[in-house]
Chains A and B, each alone.
Chain A
Amino acid sequence: DQQVKQNSPSLSVQEGRISILNCDYTNSMFDYFLWYKKYPAEGPTFLISISSIKDKNEDGRFTVFLNKSAKHLSLHIVPSQPGDSAVYFCAARGYNAGGTSYGKLTFGQGTILTVHP
């Protein structure tokens, strides 16, 4: 049961243009969403997050949008730079059986972003 899905395995964008990475989820109990970036042979690094009570969060070139009714979030990178080329993972935090929210994350499959000079 894939609760977090990234349906695009890869995305190719020209430098300076916008990159839009998409993520869908099925669990309405998720209360916090995150994007991680991963370079080869390195662990994922946190990029940006959004609480379920918000619909937008912006940090420099990165903006995350959340559409709760559609159970969809997206990451916008503007303008895209070659250094942004990496695998991007969408992740969600939910509640455990005891009703406590903690840091366990459910990840999507990742999208490989390539930004061409």
Chain B
Amino acid sequence: GAGVSQSPSNKVTEKGKDVELRCDPISGHTALYWYRQSLGQGLEFLIYFQGNSAPDKSGLPSDRFSAERTGGSVSTLTIQRTQQEDSAVYLCASSLSPRPNEQFFGPGTRLTVL
């Protein structure tokens, strides 16, 4: 069966440009999470979706970051006016219900801002 997929797998961009990262969760999974892992750091929570709504956006680091989810499925994380400190691996996870041992992670998108 298909797992969580993310695209692109790698993204190199110039400082100041906007980027969009995509996550396709496992079909039927209602909960979706975005995390990021900066070099030498643990995974940092960004945002949580239940269906199409985001009850917790507390991890978004600035207003340059936004995310949406449509149809209770695909989610897009958008970073506007990228900065070098945005460079990280962005990971998406989904679960059938908000139970942490059922979170399935995608392979991540490695973002490099030059």
Contacts and interface: CB of A to CB of B under 8 A. Distances in A.
Interface of A: 4, 6, 32, 34, 36, 41-46, 49, 89, 91, 93, 96, 102-110
A33 B105 CA distance: 17
Contacts of A45: 105
Contacts of A107: 35, 42-44
A46 B93 CA distance: 11
Interface of B: 4, 31, 33, 35, 40-45, 48, 50, 55-56, 91, 93, 95, 98-108
A103 B31 contact: yes
16 contacts: A34-B100, A43-B104, A43-B107, A44-B105, A46-B103, A46-B104, A91-B100, A93-B100, A102-B31, A103-B48, A104-B33, A104-B45, A104-B56, A105-B35, A107-B44, A110-B42
B98 A103 contact: yes
A46 B101 contact: yes
Contacts of B104: 43, 46
Contacts of A32: 100
Provide the main secondary structure of the chain A interface: strand
Contact of A43 (B40, B93, B98, B101): B93
B100 A49 contact: yes
A44 B36 CA distance: 12
B73 to A, nearest CB: 18
A43 B48 contact: no
Contact of A103 (B43, B95, B106): B95
Instruction: In the A-B complex, list the 7 residue pairs whose CB atoms are closest, starting with the nearest.
Output: A43-B105, A102-B98, A107-B42, A107-B43, A103-B98, A109-B42, A103-B100
A43 B103 CA distance: 11
A43 B42 contact: no
B106 A104 contact: no
A6 B40 CA distance: 12
B45 A105 contact: yes
A96 B4 contact: no
A100 to B, nearest CB: 9
